[in-house]
Structure 1
Amino acid sequence: MTDSRAALDVNSALFAGDDPILDVQNDLLNRDRLAKVIADEVQRMNADRGAVVAITGRWGTGKTSLLNLTANLLREEEVIQVVDFNPWFFSGTDHLIRFFFDEMARQLSSERSRKKRLQDSAASIAEKFNRYSASLSPLKFIPGAGQILDAAQKAAEGVTQALESSIHEQRLEISEALGNLNGRIVVLIDDIDRLTRQEIRDLFRLVRLNGSFPNVVYILCFDRGVVESALGEEGLDGAAYLEKIVKTSIEVPPAADYALASILQNGMHSALADVETGPLSEDRFPDVFWQVVRPLFSTVRDIKRFLSSLTLAARAVGDEVALPDLIALETIRVLRPTAHDLIAQSVDALTTVHSWQAQNRNQRLLATHATEISSLLEALPEGVGGALIRYVFPAAQAHTDNMWFGHESAQAWRRDRRVAHAAVLRYYLHQEFPEGTALAGQVDALVNAIQDQEEFRRVLSVVPAEQLEDALDRLLAYVDSVDQEQISSAIIVLLELFPRIREEQVGMYDFGGDYTVLRLVNQLLRRVEAGNLDLVARSVWNATASPYARLRFLTLAGRQKEGATEESLITADLEAEFREELKLHVKTASSEVLSQERELLRTIVQTVDCDGQSGEFAIREAATPSVTARILETALSTARSNSLGSVVVRSEDRLPWEAMVSVFGGEEQLITAVEGLKGHMGEADRSERLQRALLVFDQYVTGWRPREF
């Protein structure tokens, strides 16, 4: 639309729920032109024997809005008296007839609404309608009052006079008075298609019986299919019956595609103007909008229903869900709720990335997922379902287009906050992330800071420890954006994170907290140009104080262990230099340093020569209580197992006994050091992990060993 009314704000009629428009200022479809045509026709048409005009259209096409615009124009005419008749206030044929004439009389006699030019005539006609209504029954229902009143007062006025003349004579009097009216009365009746079938038949009997009054024009609003079906009962041809009553009709034209699209786009812009949302994904949004969203809208009412909840939905998910996906899923939720329910039931089918290799795929799982995807496609219009899969849930193309995606794609979907990733889809559906999930804003801050070492360090410091692993995991998708010159500074900061990362595994398939740091460091290292690897490695090494961090860095940059055949990223000479320096560092480090070191036992065993038969400590401070305690803590591991078909997981704490003996130069030295630790550190001063390690240690001393280790 090019009309200035397309520039909407949140106070416009588009955001007023499902209410029809009341005036031309909120006419989004330029229906005012059609309203002028109808109003002009009502004034010019021959109404010597009355007239009935029908405004028809499907639910939501804007019949009431068009009627309101037409009524506004008619009310401006001095020779037109508009009467609004609400059929919802009656029940039963007799009540309907009485209420109709009462309402006609009331509105015609109203000083507020009566036209000056018709004042005398209208008042006279109103009196005749009153008498006619009174003659139909000695009792009159007062709508809205909820009670039947004795019409004693009427007996002295209308009823007594009614008895003096027949109903037929009164109709003739009314007809004569209306025929002499220098203008016409227009009766508006809306929402006919929302009445019960019996009420629809009653209403059209009323119109048929009274539609011949001269200079009275009825404008009826209804869905033709609904009314014809209701009138078609009792052996009647509904369409034929309707044709006998309605002489002039106009079908509300469907909104043009371009007009609906413009209204929808402007409405979304206004609804989301002050809301923080997820990324727009400009390269994907046009396809999502035109192929998934737009085809689901048929009327402005559809748009109103959608917009009325869009702002709330956007505020609820914040910036955690990509905007195209949010709009697509909210459209389906509002307009195709059954399909939305199927999406909620098919999270795995829509997001699971299967193996590239056919022989490694779970065929039973694939078949289950394919059935779920098929059900979803059937719940959406043709074309929309396929587009939804292509542009919103691409992993499901394995079932529709034989297209397969890998884990790198899933990583990119998570980065872009697309519901194609299970975590994002579940967040949209449940509006909460599992414990430990970093917020999108935190990840964005890390991405923006990674090029600046101090800022990167500062932003990481404010990420809660329980969310750190997830934040680092999601940062993987942005590795390629780091400048070559900033790789070493980023790695240095990452290696400083080990003290904040959990040490123990939390499940059978957990790789450990260190994995999130190491995977990111590894990806960064592999982006360094070959000629610069030694330079970057030395820069990182010199800036890293922790022996454990140095060991893990060396594991990534060099061979995993001395003598291995794997290709090293750094030169052999530099690796040898690093290993010797690390060995000396660990052997001579102070107890203060070692007692705070992560994975101390592993660090000692993998860097220093250890011999369980030598009778000598592998490191100088091994028997210092704080160092012994740290060796025990970092030695503790938990073996987990479960029986086939059972969800119960059994756990058992264990110690690498031989490795510990080798560090202390023998069992006796180990036992002596641990006993010294117990005497030095009371139970109240021991960490929970150390206390567990000591309990297991005592079992090992007795000769107990686990069945498998």
Structure 2
Amino acid sequence: MFDADHPIIKSSEDRLNRTTFAKYLARSLLDQIDAESFVVGLHGGYGVGKTSLLNLIIEELNFAASNMYDDEKAIILNFNPWNYSGQDQLLYQFFRRLSSTLRTNAASLEQADDIIELLELYISYFTQKPVPAALRRKKWWQKLTNKPSETSYAWESGKDLTTIKLALNNLLGEQKHRIIIIIDNISRLYDEEIKLVFQLIKSMGNFSNTTYLLSYDKDQVVHALDHIDIDGEAFIEKVVQLAFEVPPILQQDLETIFADRINAVADIVPEDAWDKEYWADVYYQSLRYFFENCRDITRYINTLSFGYPRIRDVVNPVDYFALTAIEVFTPDVYFGIRDNKDLFTDLLDDVYHLDEKKLKKDKLRCDEILGRNQRIPNEILLELLLRLFPRLRSIYRPGEIFYHAESRARKQKRICSPDLFDVYFRLSIHSARFHESELKTMLELASDAESFDQALARLNQDDRVLAFLDQLDGRHLLNIKKEHASAIINAFIDNGDLFPQGNSDLLSLDTPMRIHRIIHYLLQRFPHSDERFEILQRSIVNATKSIYIIVYELNEQLREHTEEEETYLPLEYRDITPMQLESLRKLTVTRIKAWASTGRLAEHPKLIPILNAWLDWGDKEECRQFVAKIVETDRGIVALLIDALDQPITEAMEVYHKNPAWRAYLNRIEQFISLDKLEQHAKALFEDGYFEKLREREQLALMIFLDLMKVKTTKIIPQTTAD
């Protein structure tokens, strides 16, 4: 489960869409015609994926070689200077590796022996080391007598350095091969070694038909060269002829990688222990901002993978996941939390009265711990701590409405419970990234309701509205002005049905839930339920483009009014009162009936949930009469079946197999109309020649329904239920 933080080595592992660039650059290196030595630089900061990008380029070079003749294939030397210590060792090993690589490819080199001899003499001049005995060129009489050559140093050959290099360049320039030398991790070297590598490339190793591909952190290299009295910026520009910046990994890409990596840990979370909405609060408003690059994710996942399996049955998974991020990235804050149990839990609140003086002292202590943070903005860290430790709200946000019960915290195994706090530190060793500017502009439009509504519609048309919701559902909500909240809520309720539904799984939310979270947060900006009620009422009245999102929102509001222990909230903590909720339900029924009268309701993809609301909140007989009327039409009966059998249809589109469990989905229809009243109409549609012109989901809806009802037809239906 642990990750050694290796770079990727093949394009199938690429999650940052860099393969295309790597292919183009690799092909450009191969297509180079000029025999002059050429230097390409890839520069970027720590953890941006420079080595991974080099590996993608090497993969493409090797692939290209598979379609070339041997005498045309590039000769590739992958040299890592970090493997050698000291300037002399680094220089000597570079040339030794170059010689070894050329000898490996000697069969396809023209005049290979001459090239190797000249290179060895060249190496000897620079390193003041003798030519290895096995590589010394023998004269004809030495071959006959099997005597070793007595020439061991370059200066004994009678050739000067200039002559040797000129002859070597002439021979290399006549080759069809391109020698591509890849040097990674340059910025990890000592200052003098960095200087030596660039000098080697510029003067000692600038051979004909040679291309250098370098990888380095430009800021570190410039700083190193400046430190030894060299203008680092100018020095690099003299050596590197073509430079590419490897950009930092985008926040959206990091989150995709994070989701992939955390799934392995999430898979071992005990059943029913994961609170998706709580995770969304923690992740989207604070945790996501801890990760700056892939190495951060690796460090976090490794720490989480080590600790969580050992205490998973006694901790809240979301709390532990969040605390691990604090441990990895702000360890001083982590230790501050661990060592101040009374500050972060209700441990002593029953003993000492939490008066203004006590709160002031607690704030000084908490501010000191927050001051240890050097990783992320303090307001983001504070937002996370407020989620994990509700007691801090009395210190930092005393007027904010928030419900917390110690009994619930204990039951949910929360870290804020004094009884469970220490468990989270059981493995602790006790010792003495939608552009910010664009989002800002978007929110400024909320000063005019119509402008914001239009801008939201444009985002949806451009397939960017989910990215906007993703960015908004977090710290950016804090920046929304109170006077703009009503316009934003109105726009979401009016447009919500038009947005893509998104995915709902362990680590993500679908669009309706995301919209509800935003609406709920904005409503909480208003202290009185009457204000919140008026905002929702006005939004429902004004909504003309959506109806399902209204039903969804009111169902979510209902959760605050249920008597179940897990979801129950005291009246003063709810968005609206029970009477106000009932009033909004009745208003929604009038909107549903308006949709029904214009024919729009029958075409809605969320027909069943809307009908359920009509049935529960309005006149049941009116609802059933509407259903009876629409199923008389071909479009109406197909629409009803598609929505009711949505999950079976999705499964059948992949594998059309027997599944008796699908029968339960028919119950969604039976509450509105007797199933036998649909049989003959569905059978007629199936047996009609027009059936073949229906869309796949429409065909499957009819076939699955008829098969589940065991209706005899003149056409054969593939069996999907057990006999």
Q: Which amino acid aligns with 2:366?
A: I
- Counterpart for residue 27 of structure 1: 14
User: How many angstroms does 1:88 deviate by?
Assistant: 2.5
Is this contact kept in 2: 1:260–1:300, CA < 8 A? Answer: yes
Q: Residues 277 and 109 (structure 1 numbering): CA distance in 2 closer, same or farther, change over 3 Å?
A: farther
Is this contact kept in 2: 1:293–1:327, CA < 8 A? Answer: no
1:354-373 superposed matches below 5 A: 360-361=353-354, 365-373=358-366
Q: Residues 160 and 386 (structure 1 numbering): CA distance in 2 closer, same or farther, change over 3 Å?
A: closer
**In the aligned structure 1, how far is the partner of 2:415 from the partner of 2:565?**
26
Deviation per CA, 1:18-45: give whole Å up to 9, x if none.
Answer: 1111222322223211211221222234
User: How many angstroms does 1:246 deviate by?
Assistant: 0.8
Q: Which amino acid aligns with 1:16?
A: D
Is this contact kept in 2: 1:317–1:431, CA < 8 A? Answer: no
Instruction: Specify which of 325, 330, 333 is matched with residue 336 of structure 1.
Output: 330
1:61-80 superposed matches below 5 A: 61-76=48-63, 77=65, 78=68, 79-80=73-74
1:437-586 superposed matches below 5 A: none
1:373-384 superposed matches below 5 A: 373-378=366-371, 379=373, 380-382=375-377, 383-384=379-380
Q: Residues 105 and 431 (structure 1 numbering): CA distance in 2 closer, same or farther, change over 3 Å?
A: closer
User: How many angstroms does 1:202 deviate by?
Assistant: 1.8
Would you say 1:119 and 2:109 are equivalent positions?
Answer: yes
Q: Residues 198 and 136 (structure 1 numbering): CA distance in 2 closer, same or farther, change over 3 Å?
A: closer
Instruction: Specify which of 197, 203, 206 is matched with residue 203 of structure 1.
Output: 197
Is this contact kept in 2: 1:272–1:314, CA < 8 A? Answer: no
- Counterpart for residue 615 of structure 2: none
Q: Residues 36 and 200 (structure 1 numbering): CA distance in 2 closer, same or farther, change over 3 Å?
A: same
Would you say 1:291 and 2:285 are equivalent positions?
Answer: yes
Deviation per CA, 1:166-222: give whole Å up to 9, x if none.
Answer: 111111112112211212111111111111122212222212213532211111111
User: How many angstroms does 1:335 deviate by?
Assistant: 2.5
Is this contact kept in 1: 2:79–2:94, CA < 8 A? Answer: yes
Is this contact kept in 1: 2:124–2:131, CA < 8 A? Answer: no
Deviation per CA, 1:405-439: give whole Å up to 9, x if none.
Answer: 9996222211111112233221111259xxxxxxx
**In the aligned structure 2, how far is the partner of 1:119 from the partner of 1:394?**
73
Deviation per CA, 1:216-262: give whole Å up to 9, x if none.
Answer: 11111111110010111233211111111111111112223222112
Task: Indicate the structure (1 or 2) with the bigger Cα radius of gyration.
Answer: 1
Q: Residues 277 and 431 (structure 1 numbering): CA distance in 2 closer, same or farther, change over 3 Å?
A: farther
- Counterpart for residue 271 of structure 1: 265
- Counterpart for residue 161 of structure 2: 167
User: How many angstroms does 1:53 deviate by?
Assistant: 0.9
**In the aligned structure 2, how far is the partner of 1:342 from the partner of 1:97?**
49
**In the aligned structure 1, how far is the partner of 2:17 from the partner of 2:292?**
17
Is this contact kept in 2: 1:271–1:311, CA < 8 A? Answer: yes
Q: Residues 46 and 154 (structure 1 numbering): CA distance in 2 closer, same or farther, change over 3 Å?
A: farther
**In the aligned structure 2, how far is the partner of 1:272 from the partner of 1:123?**
60
Instruction: Specify which of 389, 404, 420 is matched with residue 393 of structure 1.
Output: 389
User: How many angstroms does 1:374 deviate by?
Assistant: 1.4
Instruction: Specify which of 419, 423, 426 is matched with residue 427 of structure 1.
Output: 423
**In the aligned structure 2, how far is the partner of 1:334 from the partner of 1:277?**
27
Query: What SS does the aligned partner of 1:131 have?
Result: helix
**In the aligned structure 2, how far is the partner of 1:279 from the partner of 1:37?**
48
- Counterpart for residue 231 of structure 1: 225
- Counterpart for residue 173 of structure 2: 179
- Counterpart for residue 459 of structure 2: none
- Counterpart for residue 619 of structure 2: none
User: How many angstroms does 1:141 deviate by?
Assistant: 11
Instruction: Specify which of 41, 44, 59 is matched with residue 28 of structure 2.
Output: 41
- C-alpha RMSD of the superposition: 3.3
**In the aligned structure 2, how far is the partner of 1:195 from the partner of 1:260?**
28
Q: Residues 38 and 236 (structure 1 numbering): CA distance in 2 closer, same or farther, change over 3 Å?
A: same
Instruction: Specify which of 104, 120, 145 is matched with residue 130 of structure 1.
Output: 120
Q: Residues 273 and 68 (structure 1 numbering): CA distance in 2 closer, same or farther, change over 3 Å?
A: same
User: How many angstroms does 1:154 deviate by?
Assistant: 9.0
Q: Residues 278 and 51 (structure 1 numbering): CA distance in 2 closer, same or farther, change over 3 Å?
A: farther
Is this contact kept in 1: 2:315–2:424, CA < 8 A? Answer: yes
**In the aligned structure 2, how far is the partner of 1:30 from the partner of 1:315?**
33
**In the aligned structure 2, how far is the partner of 1:330 from the partner of 1:87?**
35
Is this contact kept in 1: 2:91–2:127, CA < 8 A? Answer: no
Deviation per CA, 1:590-647: give whole Å up to 9, x if none.
Answer: xxxxxxxxxxxxxxxxxxxxxxxxxxxxxxxxxxxxxxxxxxxxxxxxxxxxxxxxxx
**In the aligned structure 2, how far is the partner of 1:132 from the partner of 1:278?**
70
Is this contact kept in 1: 2:82–2:188, CA < 8 A? Answer: no
Give the stretch that moved more between structures: 294-303 or 395-404.
395-404
Deviation per CA, 1:635-691: give whole Å up to 9, x if none.
Answer: xxxxxxxxxxxxxxxxxxxxxxxxxxxxxxxxxxxxxxxxxxxxxxxxxxxxxxxxx
Query: What SS does the aligned partner of 1:235 have?
Result: coil
Q: Residues 279 and 87 (structure 1 numbering): CA distance in 2 closer, same or farther, change over 3 Å?
A: same
Is this contact kept in 2: 1:277–1:314, CA < 8 A? Answer: no
- Counterpart for residue 562 of structure 1: none
Q: Residues 386 and 34 (structure 1 numbering): CA distance in 2 closer, same or farther, change over 3 Å?
A: same
**In the aligned structure 2, how far is the partner of 1:336 from the partner of 1:243?**
38
Is this contact kept in 1: 2:40–2:240, CA < 8 A? Answer: yes
User: How many angstroms does 1:62 deviate by?
Assistant: 0.8
User: How many angstroms does 1:130 deviate by?
Assistant: 1.8
Q: Residues 124 and 35 (structure 1 numbering): CA distance in 2 closer, same or farther, change over 3 Å?
A: farther
Deviation per CA, 1:130-154: give whole Å up to 9, x if none.
Answer: 2211233453699xxxxxxxxxx99
**In the aligned structure 1, how far is the partner of 2:270 from the partner of 2:246?**
38
**In the aligned structure 2, how far is the partner of 1:277 from the partner of 1:330?**
21
Identity %: 25
Count matched residues. Answer: 409
**In the aligned structure 2, how far is the partner of 1:154 from the partner of 1:366?**
89
Would you say 1:312 and 2:306 are equivalent positions?
Answer: yes
Q: Which amino acid aligns with 2:276?
A: E
Q: Which amino acid aligns with 1:373?
A: C
User: How many angstroms does 1:315 deviate by?
Assistant: 0.9
User: How many angstroms does 1:46 deviate by?
Assistant: 5.5
Q: Residues 210 and 355 (structure 1 numbering): CA distance in 2 closer, same or farther, change over 3 Å?
A: same
Q: Which amino acid aligns with 1:68?
A: N
Q: Which amino acid aligns with 1:127?
A: E
User: How many angstroms does 1:155 deviate by?
Assistant: 6.5
**In the aligned structure 1, how far is the partner of 2:275 from the partner of 2:369?**
25
Q: Which amino acid aligns with 1:56?
A: H
- Counterpart for residue 590 of structure 2: none
**In the aligned structure 2, how far is the partner of 1:98 from the partner of 1:187?**
15
**In the aligned structure 1, how far is the partner of 2:39 from the partner of 2:426?**
53
Is this contact kept in 2: 1:20–1:64, CA < 8 A? Answer: yes
Is this contact kept in 2: 1:47–1:217, CA < 8 A? Answer: no
Q: Residues 239 and 482 (structure 1 numbering): CA distance in 2 closer, same or farther, change over 3 Å?
A: closer
Is this contact kept in 2: 1:356–1:405, CA < 8 A? Answer: no
**In the aligned structure 1, how far is the partner of 2:424 from the partner of 2:259?**
22
User: How many angstroms does 1:162 deviate by?
Assistant: 5.3
Query: What SS does the aligned partner of 1:218 have?
Result: strand
**In the aligned structure 2, how far is the partner of 1:193 from the partner of 1:154?**
43
TM-score between the two structures when normalised by the length of structure 2: 0.52
Q: Residues 415 and 49 (structure 1 numbering): CA distance in 2 closer, same or farther, change over 3 Å?
A: same
**In the aligned structure 2, how far is the partner of 1:306 from the partner of 1:212?**
43
**In the aligned structure 1, how far is the partner of 2:122 from the partner of 2:272?**
66
Unaligned runs of 5+ in 2: 133-146, 429-562, 567-723
**In the aligned structure 2, how far is the partner of 1:123 from the partner of 1:338?**
62
Unaligned runs of 5+ in 1: 1-9, 143-152, 433-479, 484-709
